[in-house]
Amino acid sequence: MIVTHPPNVRYLTGLNASAGAVLVTITDCALIVDSRYLQVATVLTQDHPRLRVRLASAALDAAIAEEVRSSRVTRVAFEAAYLPVARYHRLAALLTDRTCEPIATPSHTEFVATEHLVERLRGIKDAAEQATLREAARRLSRVAGRAREFVVAGRSEMRVAALVDAAVRDAGFERPAFDTIVASGPNSALPHARPSARILTEGEGVVLDFGGIYDGYCVDLTRTLHLGPPGAGFRRLFQAVWEAHAAAIAAVKPGAYAADIDGAARRVLERHGLLESFGHGTGHGLGLEVHEDPRISPLVSPGERVEPGMVFTVEPGAYVPGTGGVRIEDDVLVTESGCELLTDVAVEL
Amino acid sequence: MIVTHPPNVRYLTGLNASAGAVLVTITDCALIVDSRYLQVATVLTQDHPRLRVRLASAALDAAIAEEVRSSRVTRVAFEAAYLPVARYHRLAALLTDRTCEPIATPSHTEFVATEHLVERLRGIKDAAEQATLREAARRLSRVAGRAREFVVAGRSEMRVAALVDAAVRDAGFERPAFDTIVASGPNSALPHARPSARILTEGEGVVLDFGGIYDGYCVDLTRTLHLGPPGAGFRRLFQAVWEAHAAAIAAVKPGAYAADIDGAARRVLERHGLLESFGHGTGHGLGLEVHEDPRISPLVSPGERVEPGMVFTVEPGAYVPGTGGVRIEDDVLVTESGCELLTDVAVEL
């Protein structure tokens, strides 16, 4: 199997690089890198005796093709969810062009499109990964505890985002895990608002959604605040989302269907007449990527279950043009007996 | 043509979104978005009367297929450099499955793999884009002018990176354009080092490579400093890279071959015995992406020329294990008569 998706390469080998590939056969594992990463890759082989480094002296794909050729395999799986069509064509051409074949190999290598192979392994976090995510969530919670210090009337959304990002770094994260969302007033009704020059004002809600990467692993947290006393409409919205959030967390246990965890949140919002106001999934896996398996959404296939070792967000929301938006997000780990809340910070309007 | 690469979607329509697609036909332009971006997309149509919005009520690809079907085209180009194989298969299946076709259409839609179509348009910046990049480079130069304030012995690389990032935001950028590089001492010999906990120490070099996104457009700048007086070896390295940098900039003019601009820098380093120490290209285009066309590298096809309106980096470097690394990077605009240096900050060791 040719693995090219950088987080999958990192998971299998430890290499944290924007480019690189792994060729895994039954007996062997080759890490293919260009000269920029040669030194780092070589260090990795000291911890992984079965890992071997191949330097790509020219284009990476040419080196991948060479490696496939010299491995003498005839069927090669690739990551169809990530490999672009053009690169696939290039690899296929490199592997069928006999003129540049220095050794006798089959005239044709069969490519097999696969999806979710490494991702599925990544979905179950081992003890070390759980410890990393637990520590990351603890640190992110500490940042969230300072939310009221950041969210001050008179500041722009962009300024608040910059303060949050600085706090995330000060808390020991490599960097924010994604572009921090600070969505105030009418902007809070947009689930994917970007921080703007809009000035925060008394009497409006503010959604704060931010994350951090800690030792390679991503955590993600959202709180909704209100500047000054909220009106009855906003309070009802908040209460409904909070109930949905609690219902979804209560549904998390080994063997639970992902669609049922999502459904638990959705049913609460439906009861409050907010079904149409919740236009996204309830959660997503966390790990080397900030959005990974499992998806906690009505769109997953009905058979998908959560298992011990999975870590994901629970983040229902409701977005009502005119009234504003509310989202509350925590990170959970599925345990043998139920679930552990990794983030730990008060939910207060 | 189906356009799916987000920067290309943004270039054609103004939509700044992580998901979305454009279907361009000879007569029509449809912007396909999910509910998250419906409001923003609708606003964009006010400025673009020929742009039409289609809401993807379920999966985006199903809506793309619907749009292709209703446009009644029989040949559709797609962006082969970006569309993953799995998504290509899904789209092809959606467009050949007659059972879900509500209207009479050809039984088969022909897909045509294309590359670099929108990218080539993007390569030539119009007056408004040039003004944005000029202003962005001016602001980034101001941040670079504070380099000596950031690079202080006793601070960790990560701490310096955080200070640079904060300064980038304070200078009015949306955010850093990529992960800031602070590479000190032995780390400076790694062209793609990541900031570590390593503490900066007197008597060593520090490479500072950072960028910012301003109104959607990326600029990028590198300076190399030395804490305390540099030794003769490091000074020679610095001098060689500086000469290579000047030679490459002097080679920038309309009609120049990209490979020749790269060659100008490379020849200087070769003369200094540093050819093997320069393992990357001389530059890359800047725009909605921080790495885009044109590539200024020995690997581009020999016929590639630079044209007025192109904006790219010039960033030769030399990396010598033991001695350390040096990189100097500025951003240039090709003009009708030669080149304009967009970044403007002293080069001082």
3-class DSSP state of B170: helix
CB contact under 8 A, A162 and B166: yes
Q: Say if domain A2-121 classifies as CATH 3.40.350.10.
A: yes
User: Residue A59: its pLDDT value, please?
Assistant: 87
Token readout for B252 is 């920038």
Instruction: Please say whether the beta carbons of A103 and A69 come within 8 A.
Output: yes
Name the residue ranges covered by the structural domains of chain B.
Answer: 2-121, 124-341
Helix (H) or strand (E) holding A331: strand A330-334
Q: How far is A339 from chain B (nearest CA, A)?
A: 30
A40, A175, A277: best mutation site toward chain B, by most B Cβ within 10 Å? A175
pTM of the model: 0.86
Token readout for B95 is 């467009």
Peptide bond into A229 cis (omega under 30): no
CB contact under 8 A, B113 and A280: no
Count Cβ atoms below 10 Å from residue A199 Cβ, excluding itself: 13
Higher pLDDT, B234 or A95: B234
CB contact under 8 A, B37 and A194: no
| Burial of residue A205 (number of CB atoms within 10 Å: 0-12, 13-18, 19+) | buried
Identity of the residue in B37, B85, B280 whose CB atom sits nearest the CB atom of A80: B85
* A155 interfaces chain B, CB cutoff of 8 Å: no
Is the pLDDT at A105 greater than 50? The verdict is no
Q: Which residue has the tokens 């070589």?
A: A42
Which residues is A51 bridged to in the sheet? Answer: A29
The chain B residue lying nearest A4, using CA atoms, is B84
Confidence band (pLDDT; 50, 70, 90) for B107? low
What average pLDDT does this structure show over B213-229?
Answer: 97
* B349 interfaces chain A, CB cutoff of 8 Å: no
* B81 interfaces chain A, CB cutoff of 8 Å: yes
* A347 interfaces chain B, CB cutoff of 8 Å: no
Q: How far is A340 from chain B (nearest CA, A)?
A: 31
A244-299, pLDDT tens digit by residue? 999 999 999 999 999 999 999 999 999 999 999 998 999 999 999 999 999 999 98
Identity of the residue in B80, B86, B280 whose CB atom sits nearest the CB atom of A115: B86
Identity of the residue in A16, A40, A83 whose CB atom sits nearest the CB atom of B84: A83
User: Residue B97: its pLDDT value, please?
Assistant: 58
Instruction: Please say whether the beta carbons of A155 and A149 come within 8 A.
Output: no
CB contact under 8 A, A84 and B80: yes
Contacts 24+ apart (CB under 8 A), A123-127: A123/A285, A123/A287, A123/A292, A123/A293, A123/A294, A123/A307, A123/A309, A123/A310, A124/A307, A124/A308, A124/A309, A124/A310, A125/A287, A125/A309, A125/A310, A125/A311, A125/A333, A126/A309
Please list every residue in chain A whose beta carbon sits closer than 8 Å to the beta carbon of residue B169. Answer: 158, 162, 165
Domain B124-341 class in CATH: alpha beta
Confidence band (pLDDT; 50, 70, 90) for B105? very low
The chain B residue lying nearest A57, using CA atoms, is B279
Is the pLDDT at B103 greater than 90? The verdict is no
CB contact under 8 A, A36 and B162: no
User: Residue A331: its pLDDT value, please?
Assistant: 98
Please list every residue in chain A whose beta carbon sits closer than 8 Å to the beta carbon of residue B35. Answer: 279
Higher pLDDT, A322 or A43: A43
Q: Count Cβ–Cβ pairs < 8 Å, chain A vs chain B.
A: 81
Identity of the residue in A85, A162, A194 whose CB atom sits nearest the CB atom of B88: A85
B54-95, pLDDT tens digit by residue? 999 888 999 999 999 999 888 999 999 999 999 999 998 888
Q: How far is A300 from chain B (nearest CA, A)?
A: 12
CB contact under 8 A, A192 and B37: yes
Identity of the residue in B35, B85, B87 whose CB atom sits nearest the CB atom of A279: B35
Q: Which residue has the tokens 């931010």?
A: A210
Identity of the residue in A36, A58, A88 whose CB atom sits nearest the CB atom of B85: A88
Identity of the residue in A58, A113, A170 whose CB atom sits nearest the CB atom of B85: A113
CB contact under 8 A, B80 and A78: no
The chain B residue lying nearest A88, using CA atoms, is B85
Contacts of B131 by beta carbon, 8 Å cutoff, 6+ apart = none
* B197 interfaces chain A, CB cutoff of 8 Å: no
Enter the DSSP assignment of B187.
G
B182-203, pLDDT tens digit by residue? 999 999 998 878 899 999 999 9
